Amino acid sequence: MNKTILGYVPEESPIYSLHPFVRVYFLMVVSLWPMIISSPEWNFALIVVMLILLEYSRVTLSTLKLYVPVSISMGVLILLSYTILGGRHPEFYEVFNLLGVPIYFERIVAAVEVYMRILPMIFVMVFFLSTSRERDILVAMRWARVPFTVTYLVAMSLRAVGMVIEDFSIVRQAEKARGYDPKGKSIPYKLRQFVMYIIPLMGLAIRRSEEFSNALVARGYSFTGLRRVKRPDYVLTKYHFKVLDGVIVAILSVALIALVYARYGLGLFTLEGSLTMKWLQQWLVGGAG
Amino acid sequence: MDREEIWEVEAGEERRPGIIHIVITALLIGIGAVVGAFGSFTLPLGFGVNFFWPAIAVQNIGGIWYGAWGIIAAALFPIISNGIAGTPVYVSLAYIPANAFQSFAPAWAFRRFKADPRLKSGRDWLIFLVSITIGNIFGAFWGPLVVLKGFGLLTAESVPLFIWGWFAGNEIAGIVFGVILLKALSGVVINTTSFVKKWWA
Amino acid sequence: MSAVIKFEHYSWKYTRTKVPALQDINLEIEEGALVGIIGPNDSGKTTLAYSMNGLIPNQYYGVRSGSVYVMGKEVKEYRQAELCQRVGLVFSDPEAQFTAMTVEDEVVFGMENLGLSIEEIERRLEWVVPLTDIGPLMDKPPYEVSGGQKQRVALASVLAMQPPILVLDEPTSMLDPIGRKKVFEVLRRLKEEYKSTIVVIEHSLEHLVPLADHMVLVHNGKVLLADETEPFFERMDFLMEHDVFPPGVMEFFFQLRLLGHYPNSLPLPRTLEEGTERLREMLVGGENG
């Protein structure tokens, strides 16, 4: 099993036949698609595609459970922002009145549009984090010729995240060993306890910064390696950018351009022309709008 | 060591940015990402916004102790923590100015007014509170107004409420955790080689 | 043999401490020798190690006097990157020096900093991986392998840079007996097959003493005793007065000597095997007599 940022994926997952740069490119490009597409059903289709890709990549789909609360709270907030907190607009069609607050059809449609834009973007992010190892991100950056100092800062940061998580669990275990059990305690109590985590974590980081930099200096690290020598990139020799990788990058790029043209040149993927809009109209307005 | 000495570079004292500063930036990103993701999962509002975000303290104290390095970390770690918590990558990228400024404001104020990071006097407390408040006000306007409104996630009418929510969530967490961290660890940090007196060293 | 490291009236005091960490150190380390440095905690051993590879004064604030020469050149005159090619340093906490996502990246890191070609990196990997027995670990995260494996990875990552002098700061302090044995097995091979100059700072003497050519006792920032291993341990009373606890077999024979059962003319045995043989000879001699 390969340990990815969000979990584990089998080594024989087909996703690993692709160059890591393709995955980073996928994240950056496909995250843009929902911003261009207004039509909720097309964004829903993208969610389905992402689910298929997650399954095809043999990602454990239970990972998605983590994002259920966030997705729900986001949906509720968007809906609140567009309905109850959306102000009074006599020009809009009032579907019903909730304790004196008018709920407009146009606002509900807009909330659905926005929510259906944000969801596939989350799925793209989850797909990326579920299938990528820290090393993949570095390889992608190095392959794209990002300066070494930047890639190294990213590498150390990702390493630091892992280290802090380890420290965090050690501090928690130490607390448990001293009889602290957060179960059933109030949120203010838990937040107070959070202080007990943040101070040792910070203290450990300060101590580690010295050890870490000594270790780097002792192995000849400087901002640019030995400065006068060209720094080789051994890791990159382990990865090969194949024809298939090039084809996928090309398809993603062309699809983005085509999407921009379709949306802004041909007027496709709009909210007005969407099936969701028509269905909502029938359901909420009954054809009156 | 008095508050003037903390920030003063002595005659002949050589201070250069070094590898330790890159390391400290990485470690701050690590802590910020974990603490930030913790906040985002426990009390999420969505889009990387939280009712209560303890990671703001890492931004505040990072800038005070480590100057520009702390600000870089403050700008970058929410990309990781928000990402883990399910925020789309472009929304996270758009938060960068707000996150950087939330770290910059106290960093600048402590250096400009030579405040003691150990918060020894009422003056130090005042500088801390005012500076993080200014940082949070900027963040509170940038987040809901520029980012969330820009991405169409909020309506114009609901923006003021979100500005207030953002500000309050960050301000309370910033004061609580920022004060605790500054009081507990500043005495150690100012004696380390990684402490930044100017902006880079 | 010539001295590859030479301390001349060397002292170092960290900024904001009142007492110097090292005072008036005069010490020579000969080429090809394995030198053991022992002493209680906070006696200045680590400061001595850091002074050999330039971490002091380059990474610490403090007051320095006297000189440290590495291969004939004063440490201060070296660029740090140049010095780390001469003196490799392995730290006591292997995890504190890991900055990469896989063992392979960790081992390669120092070589990339040196600007070695990919072919040379591969050649050195072929040498160092079997030497330190880390072949099966190459794709794993270095911080997820066992304690002994971690220290061998740390050792490999320094050895791969092929420094002529290797300094190890308490390399087995966090290891179990098997882990310790394996680390010293690597050191034995380095000494016997590659004639490396090795300086080992160590508390546990069981594995160090059989290998060491010279021993140095550091106490309160001063070198109290430095000699070849056999005469060094003839000063058993002096060593024990200064909190040095020699291997059990040495202590046993020392007690026998005090009781008049072991002659002064014979050196104290360094290993259990050697001690068993001596005892057998004594018992057989006694029976015959």
Please tell me the total number of residues recorded for chain B in this structure. Answer: 201
SS3 state at B25: helix
- Residue linked to tokens 């990072």: B62
- Which amino acid is it at A198? I
CB pairs under 8 A between A and C: 105
The 10 Å Cβ neighbour count of residue C227 is: 14
Are the C-beta atoms of residues B166 and B133 closer than 8 Å to each other? no
Question: Can you tell me the mean pLDDT for C204-224?
Answer: 94
Residue C214 has pLDDT above 90, yes or no: yes
Nearest-Cα residue of chain B relative to residue C60: B193
B195 lies in some domain:
no
* pLDDT attached to residue C134: 94
Tell me which residue of C192, C171, C194, C196 sits closest to C183, measured CA to CA: C171
B52 lies in some domain:
yes
Among the partner residues B76, B84, B192, nearest to A206 by beta-carbon distance: B192
Residue C189 has pLDDT above 50, yes or no: yes
The chains in contact with chain A, meaning 3 or more Cβ pairs closer than 8 Å, are B, C
pLDDT band for position B10 (50/70/90)? confident
Q: How many helices (H) and strands (E) does chain A have?
A: 10, 5
pLDDT 10s digits, B161-177? 888 888 888 898 899 89
A23 interface with B at CB cutoff 8 Å: no
CB contact under 8 A, C114 and A220: yes
B200 lies in some domain:
no
Q: Which residues, including other chains, have CB under 8 Å from residue B88's CB and lie 6 or more apart? A: A31, A118, A121, A122, A124, A125
CA–CA gap between residue C65 and residue C54 (Å, rounded): 14
Q: Which residues, including other chains, have CB under 8 Å from residue B150's CB and lie 6 or more apart? A: B94
Are the C-beta atoms of residues B53 and B173 closer than 8 Å to each other? yes
Nearest-Cα residue of chain C relative to residue A230: C115
CB contact under 8 A, B29 and A160: yes
A159 lies in some domain:
yes
Domain shared by A213 and A267, yes or no: no
CB contact under 8 A, B88 and A122: yes
Are the C-beta atoms of residues C59 and C2 closer than 8 Å to each other? no
pLDDT 10s digits, C119-136? 999 999 999 999 999 999
**Low-confidence winner among A154-158, B114-118, C158-162 (lowest mean pLDDT):** A154-158
Q: What percent of chain B has pLDDT over 70?
A: 92
* pLDDT attached to residue A226: 43
Among the partner residues A117, A160, A221, nearest to B27 by beta-carbon distance: A160
Half-sphere exposure of A22 (CA within 13 A, CB side): 20
Please tell me the total number of residues recorded for chain C in this structure. Answer: 289
Cα-based distances in Å from C176 to A114, B153, B198, C158, C199: 58, 56, 46, 22, 21
Nearest-Cα residue of chain B relative to residue C17: B191
Residue C275 has pLDDT above 90, yes or no: yes
B7 interface with A at CB cutoff 8 Å: no
Mean pLDDT, chain C, whole residue set: 91
CB pairs under 8 A between B and C: 6
Provide, as residue numbers in chain C, all residues whose Cβ is less than 8 Å from the Cβ of A232: 112, 115-118, 121
Cα-based distances in Å from B196 to B67, B189, B192: 6, 10, 9
Among the partner residues A117, A129, A221, nearest to B19 by beta-carbon distance: A221
A217 interface with C at CB cutoff 8 Å: yes
**Higher-pLDDT residue of A53, B35:** A53
Count of structural domains, chain B: 1
Residue C99 has pLDDT above 90, yes or no: no
SS3 state at B52: coil
CB contact under 8 A, A32 and B90: yes
Are the C-beta atoms of residues B15 and B197 closer than 8 Å to each other? yes
A147 interface with B at CB cutoff 8 Å: no
What is the distance in angstroms between the Cα of A54 and the nearest Cα belonging to chain C? Answer: 24
Are the C-beta atoms of residues C161 and C85 closer than 8 Å to each other? yes
CA–CA gap between residue B88 and residue B46 (Å, rounded): 10
Residue C148 has pLDDT above 50, yes or no: yes
* pLDDT attached to residue B48: 57
Tell me which residue of C14, C36, C35, C10 sits closest to C25, measured CA to CA: C10
What is the distance in angstroms between the Cα of B12 and the nearest Cα belonging to chain C? Answer: 13
CA–CA gap between residue C76 and residue C159 (Å, rounded): 23
Q: Which residues, including other chains, have CB under 8 Å from residue C49's CB and lie 6 or more apart? A: C37, C89, C167, C169, C199, C201
Domain shared by A116 and A247, yes or no: yes
What is the distance in angstroms between the Cα of B168 and the nearest Cα belonging to chain A? Answer: 16
**Higher-pLDDT residue of C69, A158:** C69
Domain shared by A19 and A112, yes or no: yes
C115 interface with A at CB cutoff 8 Å: yes
Q: Which residues, including other chains, have CB under 8 Å from residue C97's CB and lie 6 or more apart? A: A211, A212, A214, A215, A218, A219, C91, C154, C157
Question: Can you tell me the mean pLDDT for A115-129?
Answer: 91
CA–CA gap between residue C201 and residue C172 (Å, rounded): 10
* pLDDT attached to residue B41: 55
pLDDT band for position B8 (50/70/90)? confident
Nearest-Cα residue of chain B relative to residue A150: B22
Domain shared by A234 and A248, yes or no: no
Domain shared by A47 and A68, yes or no: yes
pLDDT band for position A182 (50/70/90)? low
CA–CA gap between residue C226 and residue C244 (Å, rounded): 14
pLDDT 10s digits, B109-148? 999 999 999 999 999 999 999 999 999 999 999 988 887 7
Of A60-69, A211-220, B56-65, C186-195, highest mean pLDDT: B56-65
B151 lies in some domain:
yes
* pLDDT attached to residue C235: 92
* pLDDT attached to residue B44: 53
Provide, as residue numbers in chain C, all residues whose Cβ is less than 8 Å from the Cβ of B193: 59-61
CB contact under 8 A, A168 and B34: yes
CB contact under 8 A, C112 and A163: no
- Residue linked to tokens 């459970």: A65
Which CATH number belongs to the domain containing residue B13 in this structure? 1.10.1760
What is the distance in angstroms between the Cα of B114 and the nearest Cα belonging to chain A? Answer: 23
* pLDDT attached to residue A225: 45
CB contact under 8 A, B194 and A206: yes
Domain shared by A45 and A69, yes or no: yes
CB contact under 8 A, B20 and C16: no
Domain shared by A15 and A112, yes or no: yes
Count of structural domains, chain A: 2
CA Rg, chain C, in Å?
20
From chain B residues 159-178, the ones with a CB under 8 A of any chain A CB are 161-162, 176-177
What is the distance in angstroms between the Cα of B191 and the nearest Cα belonging to chain C? Answer: 8
CB pairs under 8 A between A and B: 185
* pLDDT attached to residue A174: 79
Question: Can you tell me the mean pLDDT for A15-42?
Answer: 93
CB contact under 8 A, A222 and C55: no
Are the C-beta atoms of residues B181 and B70 closer than 8 Å to each other? no
A142 lies in some domain:
no
Among the partner residues B18, B20, B191, nearest to C16 by beta-carbon distance: B191
A169 interface with C at CB cutoff 8 Å: no
Tell me which residue of C62, C61, C39 sits closest to C220, measured CA to CA: C39
- How far is C-alpha A121 from the geometric centre of its chain's CA atoms? 7
CB contact under 8 A, A195 and B30: no
| Joined tokens for residue B171 | 């301000």
Range of the domain at A84: 2-137+242-288
CA–CA gap between residue B165 and residue B139 (Å, rounded): 11
Provide, as residue numbers in chain A, all residues whose Cβ is less than 8 Å from the Cβ of B62: none
Residue A134 has pLDDT above 90, yes or no: no
CB contact under 8 A, C59 and B191: no
Tell me which residue of B172, B170, B143, B175 sits closest to B159, measured CA to CA: B143
What is the distance in angstroms between the Cα of C61 and the nearest Cα belonging to chain B? Answer: 7
pLDDT 10s digits, C26-60? 999 999 999 999 999 999 999 999 999 999 988 88
Mean pLDDT, chain A, whole residue set: 86
A11 lies in some domain:
yes
Domain shared by A178 and A233, yes or no: yes
Provide, as residue numbers in chain B, all residues whose Cβ is less than 8 Å from the Cβ of A152: 22
Are the C-beta atoms of residues B143 and B46 closer than 8 Å to each other? no
The pTM (predicted TM-score) of the whole model is 0.82
Domain shared by A229 and A276, yes or no: no
Domain shared by A86 and A8, yes or no: yes
Backbone angles phi, psi at A32, to 5 degrees: -80, -30
CB contact under 8 A, B76 and A118: no
- How far is C-alpha B42 from the geometric centre of its chain's CA atoms? 20
Provide, as residue numbers in chain B, all residues whose Cβ is less than 8 Å from the Cβ of A161: 29-30, 33-34, 80
The chains in contact with chain B, meaning 3 or more Cβ pairs closer than 8 Å, are A, C
From chain C residues 170-189, the ones with a CB under 8 A of any chain A CB are none
CB contact under 8 A, C100 and A155: yes
Question: Can you tell me the mean pLDDT for C21-25?
Answer: 96
What is the distance in angstroms between the Cα of C97 and the nearest Cα belonging to chain B? Answer: 12
B201 lies in some domain:
no
Q: What is the DSSP string of C78-128?
A: S-HHHHHHHEEEE-S-GGGG--SSSHHHHHHHHHHHHT--HHHHHHHHHHH
* pLDDT attached to residue B51: 62
pLDDT 10s digits, A229-282? 678 889 899 899 999 999 999 999 999 999 999 999 999 999 888 998 899 988
Q: Which residues, including other chains, have CB under 8 Å from residue A20's CB and lie 6 or more apart? A: A132, A135, A136, A137, A139, A140, A143, A239
Residue A32 has pLDDT above 50, yes or no: yes
SS (H, E, C) A91-148: CCCEEEEECCEEEEHHHHHHHHHHHHHHHHHHHHHHHHHHHCCHHHHHHHHHHCCCCH
B132 lies in some domain:
yes
* pLDDT attached to residue C117: 93
CA–CA gap between residue C119 and residue C129 (Å, rounded): 15
CA–CA gap between residue C156 and residue C145 (Å, rounded): 14
CB contact under 8 A, B19 and A121: no
B88 interface with C at CB cutoff 8 Å: no
Range of the domain at B93: 3-189
A250 lies in some domain:
yes
Cα-based distances in Å from C49 to A221, A238, C45, C199: 19, 36, 6, 8
Residue B4 has pLDDT above 60, yes or no: yes
pLDDT 10s digits, C232-260? 999 998 998 998 889 999 999 999 999 99
Domain shared by A62 and A110, yes or no: yes
What is the distance in angstroms between the Cα of A14 and the nearest Cα belonging to chain C? Answer: 18
Q: Which residues, including other chains, have CB under 8 Å from residue C198's CB and lie 6 or more apart? A: C33, C34, C35, C165, C166, C167, C168, C187, C190, C191
Residue B46 has pLDDT above 60, yes or no: no
